[in-house]
Structure 1
Amino acid sequence: MISRLEDFSNSVLGADDPLAVWNIATSFFESFGFIGSMYGIRHLQTTPNEKNIRFSNALSDWKTSYMAHKDYERDPLFIYAPQLPSVFFTGVNFLEDHPYLREEDVAVIRRAESFNLTSGIALKMAGGEDGVVRGWNLIGDLSRQEIMSLNDAHGGVLHVCAALADQKISQTVTRPDAYLTNREKECLILLANGQRTAQIANKLNIQSVTVDLHMRNAREKLGARTREQALAVAIVSNLLPL
């Protein structure tokens, strides 16, 4: 994981503008077998705006339909994101996991299905805490089992790289006084290497609860919702060289 993350990080950090970051990110996601990517920002207290949603080129046909039907006004991805985890599955193959969806919500998903877009992994970057929902939807035609297996194998690197790209695209910056302890840095570096909490604890010879504490402190210092986002912010802010 670390070499792939390092390559992606170097490319994104070296990009001159958000469009360059977008092209790097979408190509990277497609290399995992996704057809395309969708990135959106929605302000919860204002009327949804189609200009705040971006599609990769491979999704141009669906984008035309999405805009024509004004699906951005009813897209479940944004409406229910504040109540959902940082990572969740989307698409018709996962309808049974979201029984709360209304008829008009399902219609948006069914229209995507008509373009053979049946599954996706949503990566939430902001969940409405500040009145903004922001995140990625990596979309494809994989079966339910295939995309769950893909997430098991690569979900960590996908989330971290999505967070890195989000930091650059949205121009999010960390607080100038942010400071990470050596232990917090060690935990984040091991996270970048694909290690889970128990593995990090074993490597550092500390308790799992202590790892969780270091991760929580890092998130709070960096203004991140998840440990993956904390890792991304630390990299973008040059607080954590890989």
Structure 2
Amino acid sequence: MTALILKTIYRFLSVETNDARWQVAQDIVADLGCNAINTASVDRTTGQMEWALLSMSDAWLEAYVGEGYFEVDPLILGARNPTGFQLLKSQTLHRDDSPNRTSFGLNHELAHYGYSHLACIQMPGQGDASTRLVVFSGDDSTYDFHRKYDQPELGQLARTIAAFVTEPATPDPRFLPMYGKTLLSDREKDVLSLLAAGHRNDEIGYRLSIAEVTVRAHVSSARLKLGAKTREQALVEAIRTRQIHP
């Protein structure tokens, strides 16, 4: 076990919560010269991301989700048939050779936001059907981390991080489209918020100046989006995903 791994373990053992361990992980990779770390779990059967913690910039994450880059991300796609290690270099795709405009945009936009190299370590996730990913990213103009730390050592570090950093208790609502879930509309959020506060359908309709039948339609639509069988389950899921606040 290298000094880097021992130091990493000691730093994780000094904190108790998952949020604190996630901050430790970000501090550790910053010491290595990386500018971000991402970790996620991907269903190998469907290729669907199950959860993720991402430390890249808000501007990039907004583009990543908004442009649908996660649908063509080779690191996510590679989780279905993991090889153990992938290195993604930005600005390597030519427009004529790119499979589609989204793939080309992802490959070139990464560099624009400062992520020229991404080293992805793949490992078994919880259960037999998932792959856990830990991704170290950096900009070669500031530090060539993936050459200083070779693949075996990065792999050890990734597995150590994966052992301590687990699924967040509440998902970031910005990332719900990556998990195959549709965000609630503003009106649906309004209706569920009032429902959670204990108001009846007719009271909600009066407060929002809409018909009671429209209130029921919004509740039904929200249930479908949240995968809930009842309005009570819809409220729980909307609160859990931080789309409404109790």
Equivalent-residue separation in structure 2 for 1:131 and 1:17 (angstroms):
27
C-alpha deviation, 1:34, in angstroms: 1.1
Instruction: Describe the shift of the 1:29–1:150 C-alpha distance in structure 2 as closer, same or farther (beyond 3 A).
Output: same
Q: How does 1:202-221 map to 2 (within 5 A)?
A: none
Instruction: Give the Cα separation in 1 of the matches to 2:128 and 2:114.
Output: 34
2:166 corresponding residue in structure 1: 170
More helix by share: 1
Tell me the CA shift for residue 158 of structure 1. 2.8
| CA 1:101–1:162: 2 relative to 1, 3 Å | farther
Which of the residues 161, 168, 175 maps onto 2:157?
A: 161
**Shift, 1:46, TM fit:** 4.6
Between structure 1 and structure 2, the one with the greater Rg is: 2
Q: Is the 8 A contact 1:44 1:128 kept in 2?
A: no
CA RMSD of aligned residues (A): 3.1
> Tell me, what secondary structure is at the counterpart of 2:57?
helix
Structure 2: 5+ residue stretches without partners: 168-246
- Give 1:6 shift: 1.5
- 1:197 match: none
Structure 1 residue 139, shift from structure 2 partner: 0.8
Amino acid paired to 1:43: D
The alignment covers a number of residue pairs equal to 163
Which amino acid in 1 is paired with 2:85? V
Structure 1 gap ranges (5+): 172-242
Q: CA deviation at 1:136?
A: 1.2
1:65 alignment counterpart? 63
2:107 is aligned to 109
- Measured at CA, do residues 128 and 15 of structure 1 come closer, stay the same or move farther in structure 2, by a change above 3 Å? closer
Q: Aligned pair in 2 of structure 1 residues 7, 147: CA closer, same or farther (>3 Å)? A: closer
The CA deviation at 1:101 is 6.9
Q: Shift of residue 159 of structure 1?
A: 2.0
- What is the Cα deviation at residue 7 of structure 1? 1.8
Deviation digits for residues 104-161 of structure 1, max 9, x if unmatched? Answer: 4343222212212111211112389922122111111116x94552233xx4333222
Q: Distance in 1 between matches of 2:3 and 2:152?
A: 13
